[in-house]
Structure 1
């Protein structure tokens, strides 16, 4: 029956009882007659059609219509049952007395009750009716009591039971509600319908506390269950409502709130959070969605307050708390009135001290928790706190005072480390903490069985000390090279240190003392080289191992040779030889430099298949030159000799600590150890560990420790603090000078010869070819003279030069290695890793192709230029401007002139030939106006080949070569029979 909006109408709210959902309201509009009376003409109102009647509705009406919509049975079914169903099927299934879903019933009840409460609190001043049985919405009108009623709960305890009943007062008059057909139409909060009046109550009374008494005078509580009933039911009533008791006491008490913290460990706890359930989850969850997260190795702090003799947990949310006490046959309800302002003040003070308490609880990681307890113990006492451990905690923790005292004393060859840790009355030797600190175990069991938590900061402060120290008979010892660590501990007030004047002087040294040069040294060291020579003495005098890490070309070799000559002249070597291990390709370079600068040193070249494997011969020499390969092969033999020095050149050869080479050199015995390298770190921070562990064993701890505490934090975590720490540990033992740092002391251009031994396969190919051409050419000279052999000689020399570079240039089927290529690639890698740029020249494009293939294999980027290269300027500009592009391969003919390559400060000549002018032109590509750096030039000479012979012949006829001869052909023509025999000898 439609209601006309053109005629007067009234919105009304009608109460009905649903068989399953309980009491509900529906919204209607009712037509008024001309006299203003409500008629029987009515129409339901919902959110869909409410706007039609907007003239007769206010804002509250629109809210009420929306709420009544939500509790209609179709809306309820849709909310809780996403599948299609009929109301009959839904209610019969869910509310079946035997098989029904009780959990879902409870959820639906809460849902309806919540909205009924919201409707009832908005009905004041509205037209409210009880619906008739025929569906008439205005059958009987109701009033809304304008004021809240109050409930007084009565308890009468007698000899055998306790009677319990409520009384209701409204406007100071007792309200007679029992046996009056009263109904509770909403339970939470309670709304009572009595004589067509709707009453609500102060203190959010639960309707279930009144409902049993609508048709009952009282409830009897038998004596045998009264204690449990008093605890579970009566005490909560006393907290929130007015209770009148006879037969037991209710005492309202006020006390000062005294805070207390109870801590307990929670190895596997679950955090449960109640969240708004989704529609689909309700049937399974009962309206509570559980979000859980595991908490392990944490400490729970529970905040509570003592009021008199009673404890109230801070998470309890009521202003009044009731504690039940039974004395003989009597009960006392202590009604404790809390000081919530004081409690909040305490919570704020804890928050100011970094303990966030929420709902009476805080959770901290275990080490942090005990550090917090130790740190704030005095303040907590001042604030009146009692701190104790919970009875449910699985462990008995110590929470007293904690302190540590460490003393470090210099002994003859090491530092003695002793100390005492105090946990309250217990004194524990410092050494006992070693496995705990190294394994990051925080829990230490005291003699009385209690668990002490090692302060978190100790794991940082004493980690390196325990990692680097060695255990000896119930004490710890540190090697002298850990002086920097000892200083750090002293400076941080973490240890008391007693050391000798000599070491004290070392800690405060500002410069290294100047040392006299050996008398027999030929030549003169540049100032920075002299400083390096002095530094080598410095580390030796303190019995430290050293790493001379100058850039390539700065003279690590001659600084070392000067030191070894001084050892000989002073007699400090004691007749023992020093061992120099290096890549095979460097042996002849060392021999050449020694002959040039320190000819008084007796040098043994301990290499080759037919070497004399007898360490007794070392006594006749000052220096033994050998390769890493020989050290590996003869490791057991070499271990039997005590060298003066063991020196490793290009020490990155032992960067892999697990390699056979690393094991072999670490097994050698010597008074002193030294390493030489331009690139102490090539690929990984572990390179550093291996080399430092050779010169100063134990300096960086074990490999496992180093990987965990330095390598991973530095390489993966980019930890600047660990990087600084590592730098501080190694700084005293590394002398590193970059070329730019000593530029003023260098001439504009420095030339080096780099001698490269051939491989066995290369030697075989070379000797075979040399024999063929030697016999053929010398026979031809005998028969026809030198003039007719020039072409044949040029052809033979070219073939031999190619084999000296790489036999594959002359024979494409050659599958073995080349000694020169090994050395070239090694030095390119060194230059690149030091951050320099290099020009690599060759007369043979074939040779450059072989070098290119090797660089590609090692993923080293390069620029390339030969006679076929187009747009040369683009290639040149890219090399000049791209910081990451560090290698430029250039054919000598294509790149000898017309290029400006000042970005490079190294020049490699791979295959020198007669005319030095051509080489000079190549060098001048880098060494020209605009060049800000010293240019280092390396000529690669293959040992025992025509290249070495050409070099000797150049020196012999230097004036001829430089002044008169301008072409290679002219030089060939000038060669005598003796010269040719020398070349092919």
Structure 2
């Protein structure tokens, strides 16, 4: 005997008729012996190998097993409890539909694989061939028969299967699924897709149903109308007329249930609108004429509707529920979504009309303009600005573009036309033209834009432009053929020639610029080449013979005054009256000597006046002295203090060296230099950004006032979006704005012009005494910080954290910097001494940089003990020139101790070929400035840089944190202070 898989239709005492997968054994040809219900338990265990579809049927069946129903629909623990508490209403409402859902899935598989189906009577173990059901399939059709006799309506239902009428009268009807209908009639299993199974049941007891005349109208309006719409109907006593109405497609601007704007797709047939849905493509309406009912029926163009819906989605909208459509990118912002949708309609109206859609706004509270929005821009240029005139065509209206200025600046999207329609301004107008309006002025119907903002005109749909003028400005390709002054006592490298040409390009177009090359690449020489070019013709004047040296107010013997007959009383010659006025170079006081030396070296014929020192001239008539010179050298402090005198003269060039000194717009120095009157402005710095992106504003507002807008605008429009929100588009925009006015070349870019640079980090282990002291101090600082964070918050603990960091940093260098009584050693100190001893023996010269003067003092004490020659430069050093000369020119002087703050800039120390950074800190730019004292143009030796870091200390952790914090710097020219905003997590990691 072999097992066989079949389906039995069995009546469950609680669940009614159900479909059950069964394993049976055929003992002879006349009957089959019931074995048991098939379950997943039998997989792989019984002597029967299940097919995959049979396994699927078993899994579906177990969905409505007794135990699964208890788990899904009840909190009772047993089957008996569940069925004992089950009410008929709950069963019919929830459980029976659930059973029928899975039964329908099983029955479809049965039909597909032609699995035998048997009726199994209760308590019978044997099945006979006579119990097997015939599969009628789904090609049976129900027919609704209506006869209207005015006084009553007779309704009957019949079944037609393959041309034969199936009688229901006196037949046993078993319903396995109500909708879709699976029923057993006689010995056949039927599947109906056009009728609810419950509608068949009455006709097993009666031939027809009579509806009284009093319910005639209601019955015709509901039951009969739906039957005509969904089923085959034979009518007697009333008419069913098939029609072919005109049809069209419509998109309505509406709100969905959440108040969001949407496009509602509806199809119009005759005078009626229909949404796309899953209903059958038949619609029926009716009217009454002389007591006779007339039904009008038509078939919706289902394929036509589907094709149009597909074409609609191809335009870029996506279908939501209820035939609503909207573009992708909607958010919770209803207004923004509305504008997006209306803009989409504007762009696609023509295409939608061509496809066959009509746009309808009659259901929306506002009527929007949905035609083309055509903007054209014309432009003309003058010496100092561009004039733009734009016109916008909206249907029959032509409006000057300047009328939209207020809307674009305030972000107002809606503009009302004279006829009451509302135009939603295109999104791209705000991104393309907001900055133009922000930086422009209004003149009649024209937009007047300063030429420093020429970059804002790129890709702005300008139609008529003087291309030759604009391309010269846009190209940012300076004329490299500008001759280098013959009297310049230097040979420019290729990148320096490019820098010189770029500066001349800015001068030609009367733009200010920022020369931001890496330290040591010759920014001073490039600026002096420009000054040499413009003043070269004035060197041969009469005054050249009178004053052929640098006049330095710091030296009384060379002091000039307003009564000096040589300079003041002689009348000007005609040639002198046409000479360019002097240029002024402002710098930190410590760089005055460097500029004087560079001018003597490269421009020996230039007339230079150093305006500084306690005995400097201070008079409103100071111009009488300045007019006799080419260049005035002074310091930021002097400009701040003598502004009333210095601003009376009109300079040709105003040059700021180390221009990051004016990064604070609220400082007196910033306000002072901006009051100096000059035709051309130039900023020179290797670190335009020291602490934050905000540093850029002050320097660029100096070189080209208004370039970056107001300080608040720059902060809100660029700084916050870029640094906090990581807005790449704003970052790109800012780069485009400043790019024409800043030139930066790194050492890496001009490596061929510099000797090799080798950098190495030397990790120094702490001594045992140093380690114990360090760990004890770190533990105390950490506990104190955590308590403060808990009580006062992170923001109020940052200063305390920085103080703790500084203390640990000193301990990592040498504990004696914190505790004078400390008598132990320092691992780093010992390592530095050994390295210096070796280099001195090999006759190398070494620059030793530290942030702490007292750290340098420890080394100085050691040098004195060893009787080494050395030089030392700190903020307290007054004889800087002598100190520098002693190191550069004495072959026995091998070590230069320099404080990072006092000697990080302005020094040219190319005699040295080794640089020690003995206490690295957070700002890599400051360290690179120090390195560039030796690794710069003029150096002919291989430069070695050693950074000394104490292992397992705060220094090592900071070096790692530093790597994560330099993105802004690399993007915008330099580096930032990574500890400006310490997070709680970072604080915790540093002191762990």
TM bucket normalised to smaller:
0.5 to 0.7
Q: How many Å apart are 1:129 and its aligned residue?
A: 2.5
Q: Of 437, 451, 459, which aligns to 1:480?
A: 451
Q: 1:347 to 1:221 in 2, by over 3 A?
A: farther
1:526-545 aligned within 5 A = 526=492, 536=503, 538-545=505-512
| Cross-structure match for 2:465 | 497
Alignment of 1:484-883 (within 5 A): 484-486=455-457, 488-489=459-460, 493-497=461-465, 512=479, 523=489, 526=492, 536=503, 538-549=505-516, 552-554=520-522, 555-559=525-529, 561-562=531-532, 565=535, 578-593=583-598, 597=603, 601=607, 603-606=609-612, 615-621=620-626, 622=629, 624-631=632-639, 643-655=651-663, 661-680=669-688, 687-702=695-710, 729-734=737-742, 821-826=900-905, 852-853=918-919, 855-856=920-921, 858=923
Q: What residue number does 1:95 align with?
A: 87
Alpha carbons 1:67, 1:119 under 8 Å: kept: no
How far apart, in 2, do the equivalents of 1:571 and 1:509 lie? 35
**What is the aligned counterpart of 2:118 among 121, 124, 128?**
128
Aligned to 1:826, what secondary structure does the other structure show?
Answer: coil
Q: Tell me what 2:353 maps to.
A: 381
Q: Which residue of 2 aligns with 1:923?
A: none
Compute the displacement of 1:214 (Å): 4.9
Aligned 8 A contact 1:805 1:820 in 2: no
8 Å contact 2:379–2:462 — kept in the other structure?
no
Q: How does 1:248-327 map to 2 (within 5 A)?
A: 249-254=239-244, 258-264=248-254, 268=258, 300-316=262-278, 318=280, 320-324=281-285, 326=287
What is the deviation of 1:695? 1.3
Secondary structure of residue in 1 paired with 2:918: helix
Separation of aligned partners in 1, 2:703 and 2:449 = 16
- Bigger shift: residues 550-559 or 647-656: 550-559
Offset at residue 582 of structure 1 (A): 1.6
CA shift digits 1:618-640 (9 cap, x unpaired):
55325554333454566688667
| CA 1:618–1:380: 2 relative to 1, 3 Å | same
Equivalent position of 1:450 in the other structure:
421
Could you tell me which of 186, 198, 209 is aligned with 2:199? Answer: 209
Q: For residues 352-385 of structure 1, give each alpha carbon's deviation from its aligned partner in whole angstroms, at most 9, with x where no partner exists.
A: 5445558855420456655554444333333333
Contact 2:250 2:265 (8 Å CA) reproduced: yes
- Report the Cα distance in structure 2 between the residues aligned to 1:823 and 1:796, rounded to whole angstroms: 23
> Aligned-pair RMSD on alpha carbons?
5.7
TM superposition shift of 1:185:
4.0
* Residue correspondence of structure 1 range 104-183 to structure 2 within 5 A: 104-105=94-95, 108-111=98-101, 113-114=103-104, 117-118=107-108, 121=111, 126=116, 128-129=118-119, 131-132=121-122, 141=131, 143-144=133-134, 146=136, 148-156=139-147, 164-170=155-161, 172=163, 174-178=165-169, 182-183=173-174
The answer on whether the counterparts of 2:900 and 2:926 sit within 8 Å (CA) in structure 1 is no
Which string of whole-angstrom CA distances, capped at 9 and with x for unpartnered residues, describes residues 312-335 of structure 1?
A: 4334453x2214354788765443
- Which structure's CA Rg is the greater one? 1
Residue 694 (structure 1) shift:
1.8
SS at match of 2:706: coil
Q: Is the 8 A contact 2:499 2:743 kept in 1?
A: yes
Aligned to 2:18: 24
- Mapped to 1, the partners of 2:497 and 2:54 lie a distance apart of 99
The answer for the alignment partner of 2:774 in structure 1 is none
For the residue of structure 1 that corresponds to 2:511, the secondary structure is coil
Counterparts in 2 of 1:96 and 1:607: CA distance versus 1, 3 Å: farther
In the TM superposition, residue 166 of structure 1 has moved relative to its aligned partner by 2.8
Q: Quick one: structure 1 residues 10 and 666, their matched pair in 2 at CA, closer, same or farther if it must change by over 3 Å?
A: closer
Deviation by residue 1:407-458 (Cα, 9 ceiling, x = unmatched) = 2233464222332222223333312434554566544444444332333443
C-alpha displacement at 1:173, in angstroms?
5.1
C-alpha change, 1:187 and 1:563, in structure 2 (3 Å) is same
User: Cα distance 1:841–1:55, how it changes in 2: closer, same or farther (>3 A)?
Assistant: closer
Paired position in structure 2 for 1:415: 386
User: For the Cα contact (< 8 Å) 1:567–1:573, is it kept in 2?
Assistant: no
The 8 Å contact of residues 577 and 624 in structure 1, kept in 2 or not, is answered as yes
Structure 2: where are the runs of 5+ without partners? Answer: 330-336, 540-574, 757-850, 858-863, 884-896, 947-992
Q: 1:400: Cα distance to partner?
A: 0.9
Aligned length: 769
Could you say which residue in structure 1 is the equivalent of 2:558? none
- Per the normalisation by structure 1, the TM-score is 0.63
Give the stretch that moved more between structures: 631-640 or 599-608.
631-640
How far did 1:745 drift?
A: 10
Per-residue CA deviation, residues 724-782 of structure 1 (Å, 9 max, x unaligned), is 7656544544456678999999999xxxxxxxxxx9x99xx9xxxxxxxxxxxxxxxxx
Distance in 2 (CA, whole Å) between partners of 1:57 and 1:728 is 71
Q: CA deviation at 1:90?
A: 1.7
**Distance (Å, rounded) in 1 between the aligned partners of 2:421 and 2:216:** 42
Quote the offset at 1:206 in angstroms. Answer: 1.8
2:846 corresponds to? none
Query: Aligned with 2:454: secondary structure?
Result: helix
The answer to whether structure 1 residue 243 and structure 2 residue 233 are counterparts is yes
> Would the alpha carbon gap of residues 573 and 201 (structure 1) be closer, same or farther in structure 2, given more than 3 Å must change?
farther
1:904-926 Cα shifts (integer Å, max 9, x gaps): 4999xxxxxxxxxxxxxxxxxxx
Distance 2:28 2:449 in 1: 109
- Residue 742 to residue 259, structure 1, CA distance change in 2 (3 Å): same
Name the SS of the counterpart of 2:901 in structure 1. helix
User: Structure 1 residues 94, 660: closer, same or farther in 2, change over 3 A?
Assistant: farther
CA distance in 2, matches of 1:9, 1:497: 89
Superposition deviation, residue 16 in structure 1: 0.9
Q: Kindly indicate whether the alpha-carbon contact (under 8 Å) linking 2:913 and 2:943 is maintained by their aligned counterparts in 1.
A: no
How much does 1:478 deviate? 0.4
Summarize the alignment of residues 336-355 of structure 1 with structure 2, pairs less than 5 Å apart: 336-350=298-312, 352-355=314-317
* Native 8 Å contact 1:266 1:300 kept in 2: yes
Aligned to 2:402: 431
The question of whether the paired residues in 1 share the 8 Å contact of 2:584 and 2:653 is answered with: yes
CA distance change for structure 1 residues 87 and 525 in 2, over 3 Å: closer, same or farther?
Answer: closer
